[in-house]
Amino acid sequence: MDLETRAIHVGQDPEPTTGAVVVPIFQTSTFAQPRVGEHLGYEYARTGNPTRTALEEVLASLEGADRAVCFASGLAAEDAIFRLLSPGDHVIMANDVYGGTWRQIDRVHRRWGIDVTAVDLADLDATAAAVRPETRLLWAETPSNPLLKILDLTALAELAHGHGARVVADNTFATPYLQQPLELGADLVVHSTTKYLGGHSDVVGGAVCTDAETAEELAFLQNAVGAVPGPFDAWLTLRGIKTLGVRMDRHCANAQRIAEALVDHPQVVEVAYPGLATHPGHELAAGQMRGFGGMVSLRVAGGIDAAKTVAERTELFFLAESLGGVESLIEHPGIMTHASVAGTDLEVPDDLLRLSVGIESADDLLDDLLQALG
């Protein structure tokens, strides 16, 4: 079955006692057991909940993974991955990862003996030079946030595997509809399901999709640490996933249109969008993705003040953090989403704005940006 069909059917058979065609919200903390030591598959809702199971099954299918394990947020999912490591282990991380990912490893896990090096993973020689005998993970995000760099997942997997390390791909920006990291050689896929998978800016969640053995360790952590999504959150995410394909097609078309229109605008210094032929990762993206995504970044002429003015002047594009919802958003990464990396190697330009292009009419979105830039 194709992905669009699996998004609607996998893990989502009609409910057997009533025939409800939508997976119910199993809003319960515990499950009655017929006999001591015997249960019907569920005991306690931190350990497992049928609404969450449905979400885990569909996510595993979409990413082509043995199993998916869901968490209360993308960062909780990432935390579980880092907990697979031991003191002394080393991680190589893309030098423009999501700011919260960097903050977590740098300020939380480093204290427990995990070392990390930030590298431009688009530079394979620099990446190879950063590998140490104790390197366990290579952490890639492609397209990256907020600079929309494209990384060669196949080449990175080859490099990592040659040194006994594994590749984690943050597939939040691309989604499994546009990119299949496990097929390209990655070992674990991590998601902030808050973004395109949920798709409606109404829920926070995360997931890891991987092989059965690693997923078993992650499921142990899911239960032992307890950062689980509630049943309503799992249900909202499931509901969003059903329309992933049609939403992503529209996000891609709208973003392409806006990127092409802004490229020659006198108030715009640079547009970063992998769908532009001038983007350095364009060929690579065309090879490893089915579309170029809904995120566009631009540098505004006139520096930080001009960038802030534009961000505050849009009307349809709400000034807000996050991304991946049906409504368009604009933000200033330097002051907003990426404030946690200010003053580090991961700092972003202060005239940069990031657009999460929604699925409204492209004409209306473009008019809004042009009036804000004008």
Ligand X SMILES: *Cc1c(COP(=O)(O)O)cnc(C)c1O
Q: Which residues are catalytic?
A: 46, 98, 170, 195
Whether the Cβ atoms of residue 10 and residue 57 lie closer than 8 Å to each other: yes
Site for ligand X in 55-114 (CB under 6 A): 73-75, 98, 100-101
Report the residue number whose CB is nearest to ligand X.
74
Three-state secondary structure readout of 101-113? HHHHHHHHHHHHC
When asked if residue 349 is in the footprint of ligand X (CB under 6 A), the reply is no
CA of 245: how far to CAs of 4, 95, 132, 344, in Å? 6, 30, 40, 37
Would you tell me how many other CB atoms lie within 10 Å of the CB of residue 47?
14
**Shortest Cβ distance from residue 56 to ligand X (Å)?**
16
Q: Out of 95, 172, 256, 297, point to the residue binding ligand X (CB under 6 A).
A: 172
Cβ pair 122, 149 in contact under 8 A: yes
Q: Which of 329/373 has CB closer to ligand X?
A: 329
Nearest CB to ligand X, comparing residues 194 and 297: 194
Residues 120-149 that bind ligand X (CB under 6 A): 141, 145
Residue 201 as a binder of ligand X (CB under 6 A): the answer is: no
Structure tokens at 68: 């998916």
Q: Is 254 in the site for ligand X (CB under 6 A)?
A: no
- Identify the DSSP state of 38: B
Output 140 or 298, the one with its CB closest to ligand X: 140
Stretch touching ligand X by CB under 6 A, among 19-27, 167-175, 226-234, 296-304: 167-175
Considering only 61-69, 192-200, 240-248, 305-313, which stretch makes contact with ligand X by CB under 6 A? 192-200
Q: Which own/partner pairs from 180-183 qualify as long-range (CB within 8 Å, at least 24 positions apart)?
A: 180/63, 180/64, 181/63, 181/153, 182/63, 182/64, 182/65, 182/209, 182/210, 183/64
Give me the least distance between CB of 140 and ligand X, in Å please: 11
| Residue type for position 164 | G
What one-letter code names the amino acid at 19? Answer: G
Instruction: Calculate the CA 218 to chain-centre distance.
Output: 18
**Beta strand pairing status for 295-300 and 352-356?**
antiparallel
Q: How many residues bind ligand X (CB under 6 A)?
A: 16
Q: Which of residues 268-327 bind ligand X (CB under 6 A)?
A: none
Q: Which of 206, 231, 294, 325 binds ligand X (CB under 6 A)?
A: 206
Where helices occur in 263-352 by DSSP H, the ranges are 282-288, 303-313
Of 255 and 372, nearer to ligand X (C-beta) is 255
Specify the residue, 57 or 331, whose C-beta has the smaller distance to ligand X.
331
Which position among 152, 170, 187, 368 is part of the footprint of ligand X (CB under 6 A)? 170
The answer to whether the peptide bond before residue 146 is cis (omega within 30 degrees of 0) is: yes
Of 65, 91, 150, 204, which lies in the binding site for ligand X, with binding defined by CB under 6 A? Answer: 204
Does 194 help bind ligand X (rule: CB under 6 A)? Answer: yes
Minimum CB separation of residue 359 from ligand X in Å reads: 18
Closest approach of Cβ 85 to ligand X, in Å? 18
Rank residues 172 and 180 by Cβ distance to ligand X and give the closer one: 172
Query: Does 12 contact ligand X by CB under 6 A?
Result: no
Does residue 340 touch ligand X according to CB under 6 A? no
185-198 as b/e, with b when 16 or more CB fall inside 10 Å? bbbbbbbbbbbbbb
Whether residue 297 contacts residue 323, with contact meaning beta carbons closer than 8 Å, is answered with no
Q: Is the dihedral of CA 100, 105, 106, 108 positive or negative?
A: positive
Q: Which one, 305 or 321, has the nearer CB to ligand X?
A: 321
Q: For residue 218, give the amino acid letter.
A: L
Bond into 229 cis (ω within 30):
no
**Binding positions for ligand X, rule: CB under 6 A:** 73-75, 98, 100-101, 141, 145, 170, 172-173, 192, 194-195, 204, 206
